[in-house]
């Protein structure tokens, strides 16, 4: 038993710090890359040492050690010891670069391994200083401070594996990797390159940093070697990891003249600027010549992994925040929003010490409407109230409000972008289509002597009908004449019915009009029934669609249909006049009779 009662027992504190919230190994590695770039490195190498052995009765490659080597400025003895202290460092008050919190090197390391060695040099690698920390020594109480660095040349294996060891630099080596989620070097690299390319895209694209990644057992013959390629979730960069045909040229375009919005934020008597950038998929990215779903292409799947608001801090992506994303909508991949802010606004955004999230941004975004409706306040009134309460996140009200408004606009244009193309609008009139079946049923009713007001125009010559319907589509639908004529020709040749859309014309879900012998069913895109029923089914996905996405589409469609039926039932229920209610019931029964005919053998 001891009489010593440390306020924070070192062994217990370090155990707790092992669960410090890094999403995976890639994010922990990023902490080391941050340190390298902050030290002025323009070359950083991720080196994964493997071995081959029997695991679960199979020969497998297994990770032994992970190292990050750079050609930065290097550290002297004092700086090296401080770098391995939890919560200490030389940049605690520095608001100009990536680092600041003093937690990166030690916390990232122990989140993945039980032993970390650091070499650093300012005058050639043979004169490097070396020190290390081992969790067993800390837990047992064998060490209570960072061991004093000693002169020790870099091990030959890392020198050989590296492409370039500069006159100054640092090497960090993780061993005893008990918490590394990926079990071999190639997996670590393949799973990390997407995130690392996104985090450091500004450095890579500007040529300010080259990040080489290597997996090896024999350092002279790497099993995998590649350079990190920029990954831009806003898809405005060229020469990125986006699959062909958008690997060289941007897949998105700037969203108009106001694609950048700037917001000034005052903190401690100084003004700092937040820049928000908006982008939108090019029409050629969404509208494939073969008419298939662009979301199922390689570049579409790439975009699906980059959904969210990219929070950029000091040219390094902090997080890809998904608090403003509509989780069930696959079209969210087709917009880009980047929020660029300086480290001086860390308290405003709520940046965590592992630089993975911005808590305040996420909280305000998730609860934005609640914050405004709390007292029926405007954005300006809500911000003022938060400022009076001393809430550092108050400036985010204006920024997130602006992002939400732009996202509503972007989403609307994304819908139109796909819907207004020939491939999306042109109905495929095969024998199983609803239009052809309805046309067959209509002809049978005509033969039974049941005529409609549109039937008379069927007697017009075909060219006159095409011209009349083309004019309707150009004037009412806003289509160009070539596209409108193609749709008109297809409809008149194959179908009695044509679905079109409209917006902002009252509360009805659909309207019906007759033109050129056709029955035009105009669906209101602003009506919730369109979004919850028609929209989720209008583009039938191919066989490669994700099962979860397909299930979500079907659930939304079922819900939408039930809501429509219940709305009609309530409409009848609210009709108090007995004669009016009978007319509604008669209309419902008559409509049901027609529907029975149309749906036979469906």
Mind listing the pLDDT tens digit for each residue in 374-399? Answer: 667 789 999 999 999 999 999 999 99
Q: How many helices (H) and strands (E) does the chain have?
A: 23, 17
- First vs last Cα of the chain: how many Å apart? 81
505-509-513 Cα angle (round to 5)? 75
Question: SS3 string of 98-127?
Answer: CCCCCCHHHHHHHCCCCEEEEEEECCCHHH
> How far is the CA of 504 from the CAs of 501, 523, 526, in angstroms?
11, 11, 6
DSSP secondary-structure letter at 530?
Answer: I
Query: Residue ranges of the alpha helices (H) in 420-505?
Result: 422-425, 434-447, 462-477, 481-494
Query: β-pairing, 252-254 with 150-151?
Result: unpaired
pLDDT digits 0-9 by tens, 293-309: 888 899 999 999 999 99
pTM flag (> 0.85) = no
List, for residues 447-469, the tens digit of each pLDDT value.
888 888 888 898 898 999 999 99
Is the CATH number 3.30.565.10 carried by domain 10-227? yes
CA angle 306, 311, 313 (to 5 degrees): 135
Q: Report the run of H or E that residue 556 belongs to, with start and end.
A: helix 547-574
- Residue in 411, 426, 417 with CA at minimum distance from that of residue 282: 417
**Residue closest to 49 by CA, chosen among 150, 140, 171:** 171
Over residues 477-503, the mean pLDDT reads: 83
Is pLDDT of 537 > 70?
Answer: no
The predicted-structure confidence for 34-64, as pLDDT tens digits, reads as follows 999 999 999 999 999 999 887 667 788 999 9
- For the stretch 266-282, pLDDT in tens is 999 999 999 999 999 99
Residues of the chain above pLDDT 90, percent:
52
Q: pLDDT averaged over the chain? A: 85
pLDDT attached to residue 584: 84
The segment(s) of the chain belonging to CATH 3.30.565.10 are 10-227
């Amino acid at each position: 038993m001891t009489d010593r009662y440390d306020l924070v027992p070192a062994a217990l504190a370090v155990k707790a710090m092992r669960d410090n919230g890094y999403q995976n190994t890639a994010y922990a590695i990023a902490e080391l890359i941050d340190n390298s770039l902050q030290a002025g490195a323009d070359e950083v190498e991720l080196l994964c040492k493997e071995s081959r052995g029997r695991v679960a009765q199979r020969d497998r490659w297994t990770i032994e050690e992970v190292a990050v080597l750079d050609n930065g400025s290097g550290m002297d003895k004092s700086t090296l010891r401080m770098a391995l202290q939890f919560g200490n460092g030389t940049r605690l008050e520095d608001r100009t670069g990536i680092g600041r919190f003093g937690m990166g090197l030690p916390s990232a390391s122990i989140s993945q391994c039980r032993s970390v060695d650091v070499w650093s040099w300012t005058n050639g690698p043979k004169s490097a200083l070396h020190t290390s920390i081992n969790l067993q020594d800390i837990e047992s109480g064998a060490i209570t401070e960072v061991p004093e660095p000693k002169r020790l040349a870099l091990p030959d294996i890392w020198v050989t594996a590296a492409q370039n060891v500069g006159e100054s630099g640092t090497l960090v080596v993780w061993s005893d990797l008990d918490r590394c989620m990926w079990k071999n070097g190639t997996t670590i690299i393949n799973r990390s390159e997407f995130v690392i390319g996104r985090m450091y895209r500004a450095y890579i694209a500007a040529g300010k940093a080259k990040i080489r990644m290597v997996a090896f057992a024999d350092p002279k013959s790497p099993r995998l070697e590649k350079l990190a390629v920029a990954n831009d979730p806003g898809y405005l960069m060229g020469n990125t990891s986006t699959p062909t045909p958008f690997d060289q040229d941007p897949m998105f375009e700037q969203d108009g003249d106001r694609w950048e919005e700037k917001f000034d934020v005052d903190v401690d008597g100084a003004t700092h600027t937040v820049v928000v950038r908006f982008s939108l998929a090019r029409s050629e990215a969404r509208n494939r010549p073969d008419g298939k779903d662009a979301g199922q292409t390689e570049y579409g799947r790439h975009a699906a992994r980059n959904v969210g608001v990219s929070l950029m801090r000091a040219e390094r992506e902090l997080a890809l925040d998904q608090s403003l994303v509509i989780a069930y909508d696959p079209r969210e991949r087709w917009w880009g929003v980047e929020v660029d802010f300086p480290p001086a606004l860390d308290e405003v955004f709520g940046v965590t010490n592992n630089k993975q999230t911005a808590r305040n941004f996420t909280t305000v975004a998730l609860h934005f409407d609640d914050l405004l409706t709390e007292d029926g306040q405007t954005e300006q009134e809500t911000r003022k109230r938060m400022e009076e309460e001393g809430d550092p996140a108050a400036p985010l009200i204006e920024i997130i409000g602006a992002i939400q408004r732009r996202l509503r606009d972007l989403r609307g244009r994304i819908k139109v972008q796909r819907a207004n193309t020939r491939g999306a609008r042109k109905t495929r009139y095969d024998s199983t289509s609803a239009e052809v079946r309805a046309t067959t049923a209509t002809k049978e009713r005509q033969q039974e002597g049941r005529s409609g007001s549109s039937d008379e125009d069927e007697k017009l010559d075909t060219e006159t009908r095409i011209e009349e319907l083309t004019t309707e589509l150009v004037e009412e639908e806003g289509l160009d004449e070539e596209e409108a004529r193609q749709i008109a020709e297809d409809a008149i040749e194959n179908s009695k019915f044509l679905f079109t859309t409209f917006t902002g014309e009252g509360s009805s879900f659909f309207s019906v009009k007759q033109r050129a012998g056709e029955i035009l069913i105009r669906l209101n895109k602003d009506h919730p029934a369109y979004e919850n029923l028609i929209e989720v089914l209008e583009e039938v996905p191919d066989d490669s669609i994700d099962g979860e996405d397909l299930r979500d589409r079907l659930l939304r469609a079922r819900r939408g249909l039930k809501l429509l039926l219940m709305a009609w039932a309530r409409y009848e229920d609210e009709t108090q006049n007995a004669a009016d209610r009978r007319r509604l019931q008669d209309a419902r029964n008559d409509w049901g009779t027609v529907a029975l005919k149309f749906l036979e053998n469906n």
